[in-house]
Structure 1
Amino acid sequence: MFDTDEVLRCEGCGAALQVEDPGAIGYIPEAALNKIPVVCQRCFRIKNYNEMSSVTLNQDDFLKMLGSIANKKALVVHIVDVFDFEGSLIGGLQRFIGNNPVLLVVNKIDLLPKVSNWNRIRNWVQKQVKENGLKVAETVLVSARNNQGFDRVIELVGRLREGRDVYVVGATNVGKSTFINRLIRDYSDLGSELTVSQYPGTTLDLVEIPLEDGKSVIDTPGIVYRHRLTELLPKQYLKTVLPDKPLKPMIYQLNEGQTLFFGALARFDFVAGERQSFTCYVSSGVKIHRTKLDRADELYAEHKGELLTPPVLEDVEALPTWVKHNIRAKAGAETEVLISGLGWITVNNKNGADLVVHAPRGVKIAVRTPVL
């Protein structure tokens, strides 16, 4: 049994370990207590079997945890996903962290086409950050997976923290654990890496990585944003919807009155405007189907979950009903439409267009200037 005077924590997610309740956070069979590393049953199953548990962290506890940063002297490293920038940016972060400085790390730039203009992307990020009311000390573009930009992050952390603890925050599935694992592997004596999975919400409690000066890098649980399509989908579809290789732009020449279906996940209507091209940036696992607008409703009703996949019919029916978002691409302006968690569509003609996006209720739709 446990020594009640000592709290053991899972080396994967950071949760306090317990042997009493298999359905609660931190459960570990007594027989596994002497194994190395010591991980809860949930992390063991994720790592070894790609099996996702339904155990989650109470949202009130999470907000309380994040809000405690404001009362500490800390550097906040906010990781966002360049594939879903608006969907992964923490709204109102400043309210939680007070006057502590923020280092913005824009991850997964390996997903962007190799010919991308990085200065343009950095300027675009800074513009988006300003429009969202977030104050940042520095911004850096990285690929935690490919080790791109990581040395720059370490340099900035060393310069900005000034003896502070470092809190790493971000939404689920932005690559936060991959980033933390790089810190563990290269800059800490901690003997094992965090649990990395394609499933969101792996980290369930604070995980502290000791630094040489007695301070720590602290990994926090990912925020579950229900406005991201990936949070609404059954877990087995995440590998299909989330890209793992550079995006290949798909260009469609459309006449007004034509529609693009993105599997059975979303729909893009070109309602009115002169013939023009639209560039789609989505995972290669999402199949795009073009049809006429006047038969789009019929096509969806007859072929969702069959011709139009992912997901399959049973899981289509479990998603929230679609709602319409009317969008006007103004003449003379560059316009891009983000469907949070799915990707984005760039309007290539500056002569204007009337558009409608259909997506499951609650999914965030953002209209922005093009990132590329």
Structure 2
Amino acid sequence: AACARAGLRGEPLAAVRLISAKTGFGVEGLVSALQRSWRAAGDVYLLGAANAGKSALFNALLRSDYCKSRAPDVVHCATVSPWPGTTLGLLKFPIINPTCDRIFRRQERLRAEAEKTEEQLSDEEHKYLNRLKKEGYLVGEIGRTFQRSKPTPIIDFDPDLLSYSVDEDPGHSPRKPVEKEEFSYNEVKDARWCFDTPGIMRENCLLNLLTDKEVKLVLPMRAIVPRTFILKPEMVLFLAALARIDYLEGEKSAWFTVMASNLLPVHVTTLSQADAVYEKYAGKELMKVPMGGEERMKEFPRLVPQDITLEGIGATEAVADIKLSSAGKSAVSHCRWVAVTAHAQQKLLLRAHMPEGAALALRQPPLLPHIPNIRGARIPGTAAYRTKKPPSLVENLKASGNR
């Protein structure tokens, strides 16, 4: 049903896989699945909305067993940027032919790596793994089975090039041009290609309203830590000055778990004071985004309300996500939503506000229904709970004995 709503009708989907091109999680499994579908004739195209992560996936596949061994030396990596539209042309690399021998050697490598523990990794691998753990909860390593051994460069001392007369400037001595590597005819003859395509630009996206500095705060660069708040009726939650959720009616308190960049502040106030708080602090340091004071807020679109009615299913399970992004784009790519949790059969009347020109959508069932349980104790005297960061799950590594 979700695929049909996204416009994916007609031929059935071959597979749906959970991956992270940024941390490498699931990429090795994706490569294996793609190689098993080699019999499907034709090239491979990475399609999707702008900023969905196509270029990051292209770069991940470029350093995997999916491409020919010389491809990383010949093909330039795709540009990965928070701004949509940076991929202007069709980047491509040739796909390696997964012969029986290559598949066998690849499986041997994967089995050997799966027997390793974190303690057996080198210092450099440890440092890289720890960096990935800061960027996401699901981590995996992308390896290479087929690598071309580069010849050792021979230093050619040419006395005529190294010498210069008193009339010459040594800073402008002639240098040999760097030879650009190219594929040979046999390497690309009858090859199948993997293409990175320009993203589909969508309207009603919040990023279209933000400046460069604001985008860097809105897009999460590190693993998101869930932030949960308990609100009584007639209380309001602000996510920076970009979104506002009013809890208008309900019998009991409800929980609101914010899944957004940890650089965006969350403020809770009463319904009677909400308008004054927004007018006083929007555009200033307290609310972070937008930034630029009164002049910035004069040109920033006003917040437009939308009423939402929900019925709770239990205090430990979210009933819905309020997606603070484009209605037509996955909220996973931009990671801005608020999960709403309420007692069973409790009816809630909410009013969500978003800037005019940025659509808001309701997702039922929620993406992470048990996300409100990832929290610490409530902070006394506030509506907030202490945050709790779950441990990262590392793929392709054997669990240590002390775990």
Interval of TM-score (by shorter of Structure 1 and Structure 2) = 0.5 to 0.7
Instruction: Indicate whether 1:352 and 2:229 are aligned.
Output: no
Tell whether 2:45 aligns with 1:167: yes
Aligned-residue identity in percent: 33
Structure-1 residue corresponding to 2:310: 329
Query: Do structure 1's residue 142 and structure 2's residue 34 form an aligned pair?
Result: no
Q: Which residue of 1 aligns with 2:267?
A: 289
Higher relative contact order (CA 8 A, sep 6+): 2
Q: Find the counterpart in structure 2 of residue 308 from structure 1.
A: 287
Residue 198 (str. 1) matches residue 176 (str. 2): no
**Aligned Cα root-mean-square deviation (Å):** 2.0
CA distance in structure 1 between the partners assigned to 2:296 and 2:92 by the alignment: 38
For the pair shown, the structure with the greater C-alpha radius of gyration is 2
Contact 1:144 1:178 in 2 (8 A): yes
Give the conservation status (yes or no) of the 8 Å contact 1:268–1:357. Answer: yes
TM-score by length of 2: 0.57
Q: 1:160 to 1:235 in 2, by over 3 A?
A: farther
Cα distance change of structure 1 residues 276 and 211 upon mapping to structure 2, 3 Å threshold: closer
Q: Structure 2 CA distance, aligned partners of 1:291 and 1:304?
A: 14
Written as runs of structure 1 = structure 2, the 5 A alignment for 1:261-276 is 261-273=238-250, 274-276=252-254
Instruction: List per-residue Cα deviations over 1:113-145 (Å, max 9, x = no partner).
Output: xxxxxxxxxxxxxx5324434242211111111
- The residue aligned with 2:122 is none
Query: How far 1:159 sits from its partner (Å)?
Result: 3.1
SS at 1:139 equivalent: coil
Contact 2:88 2:198 in 1 (8 A): yes
**SS of 1:145's equivalent?**
coil
C-alpha contact 2:305 2:352 (8 A) present in aligned 1: yes
- Counterpart secondary structure, 1:143: coil
Distance 1:132 1:223 in 2: 13
CA distance in 1 between counterparts of 2:63 and 2:248 reads 52
Aligned counterparts of 2:6 and 2:289: Cα–Cα separation in 1: 32
Q: Distance in 2 between matches of 1:160 and 1:356?
A: 47
Q: For residue 348 of structure 1, what is the amino acid of its counterpart?
A: T
Pick the aligned partner of 1:365 from 360, 363, 368: 360
1:306-340 deviations in Å (ceiling 9; x for gaps): 13221213434333222111100125482221111
Q: How many residues align?
A: 246
Cα shift readout 1:37-58 (whole Å, capped 9, x = no counterpart): xxxxxxxxxxxxxxxxxxxxxx
Whether 1:256 and 2:233 are equivalent positions in the alignment is yes
Q: Distance in 2 between matches of 1:156 and 1:362?
A: 40
- Give the Cα separation in 2 of the matches to 1:331 and 1:178: 38
- Map of 1:247 onto structure 2: 224
The one-letter amino acid paired with 1:309 is K
Mapped contact 2:209–2:300 kept (Cα < 8 A) = yes
* 1:197 match: secondary structure: coil
| 1:231 aligned to which of 186, 208, 213 | 208
Tell which deviates more after alignment, 157-166 or 196-205: 157-166
Aligned pair in 2 of structure 1 residues 342, 268: CA closer, same or farther (>3 Å)? farther
1-structure distance, mates of 2:236, 2:28: 44
Residues of 2 paired with 1:357 and 1:348: CA distance? 15
Q: Deviations over 1:319-372 (max 9, x none)?
A: 322211110012548222111146111111141210011101232222121211
Tell me the TM-score normalised to structure 1 length: 0.62
Per-residue CA deviation, residues 55-77 of structure 1 (Å, 9 max, x unaligned), is: xxxxxxxxxxxxxxxxxxxxxxx
Task: Give 5+ residue unaligned stretches, structure 1.
Answer: 1-126
- Rounded to whole Å, the distance in 2 between the matches of 1:159 and 1:321 is 51
* Matching residue of 2:336: 343
Amino acid at match of 2:349: D
1:220 deviation in Å? 0.8
Give the match for residue 95 of structure 2: 211
Which amino acid in structure 1 is aligned with residue 6 of structure 2?
N
Alpha-carbon distance between aligned partners in 2 of 1:322 and 1:342, rounded to the nearest angstrom: 20
Any conservation in 2 of the 1:230–1:342 contact (CA below 8 Å)?
no
SS of structure 2 residue aligned to 1:141: coil
Task: Using the TM superposition, give the Cα deviation of residue 157 of structure 1 relative to its aligned residue in structure 2, in angstroms.
Answer: 2.2
Partner in structure 1 of residue 3 of structure 2:
129
1:278 to 256, 261, 274: 256
Superposed CA deviations along residues 150-187 of structure 1, whole A, max 9, x for unmatched, are 01211222233512111111222222111101222332
Other-structure match for 1:80: none
Letter of the aligned partner of 2:62 in structure 1? I
The Cα of 1:263 is off from its aligned counterpart by: 1.0
User: Do residues 181 (structure 1) and 174 (structure 2) align?
Assistant: no
Helix, strand or coil: the match of 1:271?
strand
Give the partner amino acid of 1:198.
P
Structure 2: distance between partners of 1:276 and 1:211: 51
The alignment partner of 1:182 has SS state of helix
